[in-house]
A and B are shown apart, each in its own frame.
Chain A
Amino acid sequence: MISIDDLTKKYVTGKTDFFALSNVSLQIADGEFVAVTGKSGSGKSTLLNILGTLDSPTSGSVTVDGANLANLAHRQIAQYRNKTVGFVFQAFYLEPSYTVYDNVELPLILAGKVGDNSGKVNAALQAVGLLNKSSEKARTLSGGEQQRVAIARAIVNDPSYILADEPCGNLDTTNSNKVMEILADLHRSGKTIVMVTHDAEDAARAERIVTMSDGKIVSDEKTVQTHLA
């Protein structure tokens, strides 16, 4: 469970303060599929970054599975990023010179699993439909395929939470649908998914939509699931 309490993130630009997040509070239950939407600059990516410990809040707290992220030591933060959450970004952030297999295996290696990881890696690639591309270099894949590799990498360590920041932002409709179907499958398998998107259609596929504006949550509502059922 994710508990966000009174979260504020302030940037100082010149003599003025800019509040990317302003007293945001949010509860995300285990197994939820939450879409965070809003216009550019509304603070949705900042919220996701703080959730992923990629950024730190100015005030407030984020508690994940009972652990306050602000109290984690460096090593614990590394473990959190490695095992508790899986990241999916708009720009994929793959190692372009690595093979698909190596990219997906990387979180396992960083977790200290240096033996035969083929079972987990292949399972993750199977889940995104790219098992046949495992030996290809990441840079040779299409955008949609690279994003699916990124998802495979995000899930290979079997994290409880998937944090996705505009996962379909660089993709065409066909690939967007594939990625969203994969996320839906992950949701069905019990993963908690927090997806930042500005696309209303993608957001509608989540079971809950949190809308932000000027660093604040302006709406938080459940959706009616039809097409993902």
Chain B
Amino acid sequence: MKKLFKLIWLETSFLKRTLIVIFVILTAFSSAFLAILSVIFDTPKGIIDGIDAGKKHYFELYGGESLALSAPDKTADFAERYDAALCYGTIEGTTQNAVLSFNDNVFESDIVTKLGSGEYKLEYRVERHGYFVPAKYARQLKYFAPFEGEKGILLCNEAAKELKVKAGQNVELNGREWTVLAVFNKSKVAHDYTETDSVVPAAWYYVVDDSAGVRFDELYLTYPSAETTFAVWKKAPNVFTISKIFEESHENIALVQTYYGYLAILLGALNLFLLYVLFSLFFRSRKTQICRFKLLGATDITVAGIYLVIALVLIVASIAVASAFSVLISKFILDLCGKLFRGTYTYHYRVWLPFSLLGAFVLLAVVNFALLQRKVSRVPIAEEVRYE
């Protein structure tokens, strides 16, 4: 055993530079790999965990007398992460055409329930197409410019017919003049205008066909506990209430997962390449060296002991250091992912991963060495040393 340690000590002394290279490569790839895994596994879970209807947030109607509603950027960012939601609104009087929209998120009135005298509950379905906007929507809607300025308003076809106005004309509602930006089929409102780029970012809008003289008491949206730091906005005269928001489905998550899946495959391929480099460093270039050792009287067992122990030590050390570094780098990568996909991704260190990598590496080391030994044993040492 002492002999083995002494030989290992001699061998590893010249592997230091190699070791640094291995650390750097392994750290980089492992970090990226871990980060991608975190996003893939944690994002859906985080969204589902985030559903919490216990909090209220108030928003001021934009312009006071208008029917548009503004909200802080952070609120908008939060909503943008979701594919769909239900919004419950309580209003005095109602219209089924009520739509709440944020940029390319649309809260479309879906279900209207009369709660009592003059009180209705509106359930809004949020349609979100996010960053993966189907081109057809963009093409269809490019000529719309809803919510431009404070005068813009959308009217449903029934309201427009009743008021005898067309898109581009002005109409007086609630004691002020509006410009009709578009007339939409109320059953398709969400899809009719939501993809336009002209919607002001980071703002919520509530647009209503107000022909019935609807008045909204208040609006509040319910957000997960993680979003409780929003400022409570002062209620304006025309505020309305949405009592609950939660996700119903996560259409985009599957898409995001697909993208991350591709990235994971790419990184997996890179990791395989790394493995190839790694074991080339360890073994392939050592065929001649093994022969030299045998030339001087090393047995097969001694040679196997030297190289397998060296490989094991280097692999353990590499994975340990790489894992430590990858925590930091993964967080950085996740921050970037968060900015890219407008989300907040939390890094969760997976204990099983380094052990899995370790097991895989060791297995490969053993297999690689066995193949190498087989190759060496088939070629006379004389042949090997002759061509050095």
Q: Residues on A close to B: CB < 8 A?
A: 45-46, 49, 52, 54-56, 74-75, 78-83, 87, 89, 91, 93, 95, 97-98, 102, 106-107, 109-112, 114, 153, 157
- Chain B, 247-286, CB within 8 A of any chain A CB: none
A225 to B380, CA, bound (A): 36
Q: Which residues on the A side are within 8 Å of B2 (C-beta)?
A: 114
Residue of A nearest to B300 (CB): A74
Q: How far is the CB of B310 from chain A (nearest CB, A)?
A: 14
Contact assessment for A79 and B297 in the assembled complex, using a CB-CB cutoff below 8 Å: yes
Contact assessment for B3 and A78 in the assembled complex, using a CB-CB cutoff below 8 Å: no
A114 to B10, CA, bound (A): 12
Q: Which residues on the A side are within 8 Å of B297 (C-beta)?
A: 78-83, 107, 110-111, 157
Q: Which residues on the A side are within 8 Å of B6 (C-beta)?
A: 109, 114
Q: Which residues on the A side are within 8 Å of B7 (C-beta)?
A: 109-110
A74 to B380, CA, bound (A): 14
Return the 6 tightest CB-CB contacts between A and B, nearest first: A82-B297, A97-B14, A49-B382, A54-B382, A114-B2, A55-B380
Residue in B10, B14, B382 with the greatest tally of chain A CB atoms within 10 Å: B382
Sample 12 A-B pairs with CB under 8 A, ordered by A number: A54-B295, A55-B383, A74-B300, A78-B297, A80-B297, A93-B292, A93-B295, A97-B13, A110-B7, A110-B293, A110-B302, A114-B2
Q: Which residues on the B side are within 8 Å of A97 (C-beta)?
A: 13-14
- Chain B, 8-26, CB within 8 A of any chain A CB: 10, 13-14
Q: Which residues on the B side are within 8 Å of A102 (C-beta)?
A: 10
- Chain B, 31-51, CB within 8 A of any chain A CB: none
A89 to B382, CA, bound (A): 11
Q: Which residues on the A side are within 8 Å of B385 (C-beta)?
A: 54, 89, 91, 93
Q: Does chain A have a CB within 8 A of B309?
A: no
Q: Which residues on the A side are within 8 Å of B3 (C-beta)?
A: 109-110, 112, 114
**A49-B380, A95-B289, A114-B6 are known contacts. Are A75 and B299 too (CB-CB below 8 A)?**
yes
A75 to B298, CA, bound (A): 9
Contact assessment for B380 and A106 in the assembled complex, using a CB-CB cutoff below 8 Å: no
**A54-B380, A74-B299, A114-B2 are known contacts. Are A95 and B294 too (CB-CB below 8 A)?**
no
Q: How far is the CB of B150 from chain A (nearest CB, A)?
A: 77
Q: Does chain A have a CB within 8 A of B296?
A: yes
Residue of B nearest to A46 (CB): B382
A157 to B7, CA, bound (A): 17
Q: Does chain A have a CB within 8 A of B320?
A: no
Q: How far is the CB of B181 from chain A (nearest CB, A)?
A: 76
Q: How far is the CB of A89 from chain B (nearest CB, A)?
A: 7
Contact assessment for A93 and B388 in the assembled complex, using a CB-CB cutoff below 8 Å: yes
Q: Does chain A have a CB within 8 A of B316?
A: no
A93 to B294, CA, bound (A): 12
Contact assessment for A56 and B380 in the assembled complex, using a CB-CB cutoff below 8 Å: yes
Q: Which residues on the B side are within 8 Å of A49 (C-beta)?
A: 380, 382
A89 to B296, CA, bound (A): 12
**Contact flags (1/0) for B217-255 with A, using CB distance below 8 Å?**
000000000000000000000000000000000000000
Q: Does chain A have a CB within 8 A of B203?
A: no
Q: Which residues on the B side are within 8 Å of A75 (C-beta)?
A: 299
Q: How far is the CB of A155 from chain B (nearest CB, A)?
A: 12
Q: How far is the CB of A45 from chain B (nearest CB, A)?
A: 8
Q: Which residues on the A side are within 8 Å of B295 (C-beta)?
A: 52, 54, 81, 87, 93
Q: Which residues on the B side are within 8 Å of A107 (C-beta)?
A: 296-297
Q: How far is the CB of A30 from chain B (nearest CB, A)?
A: 21
Q: Does chain A have a CB within 8 A of B337?
A: no
A219 to B84, CA, bound (A): 97
Q: Does chain A have a CB within 8 A of B76?
A: no
Q: How far is the CB of A98 from chain B (nearest CB, A)?
A: 6
Contact assessment for A81 and B300 in the assembled complex, using a CB-CB cutoff below 8 Å: no
Q: How far is the CB of A66 from chain B (nearest CB, A)?
A: 20
Q: Which residues on the B side are within 8 Å of A55 (C-beta)?
A: 380-383
**A93-B388, A110-B293, A153-B296 are known contacts. Are A98 and B10 too (CB-CB below 8 A)?**
yes
- Chain B, 355-388, CB within 8 A of any chain A CB: 380-383, 385-386, 388
**A91-B388, A109-B7, A114-B3 are known contacts. Are A78 and B382 too (CB-CB below 8 A)?**
no
Besides the known contacts A80-B297, A109-B10, 17 further A-B residue pairs in the complex with CB atoms under 8 A apart:
A49-B380, A54-B380, A54-B382, A56-B380, A74-B300, A75-B299, A81-B295, A81-B296, A82-B296, A83-B297, A87-B296, A93-B292, A107-B296, A109-B6, A109-B7, A110-B296, A111-B297
Contact of B299 among A56, A78, A114, A157 (CB under 8 A): A78
A102 to B13, CA, bound (A): 11
Q: How far is the CB of B281 from chain A (nearest CB, A)?
A: 14
A54 to B302, CA, bound (A): 18
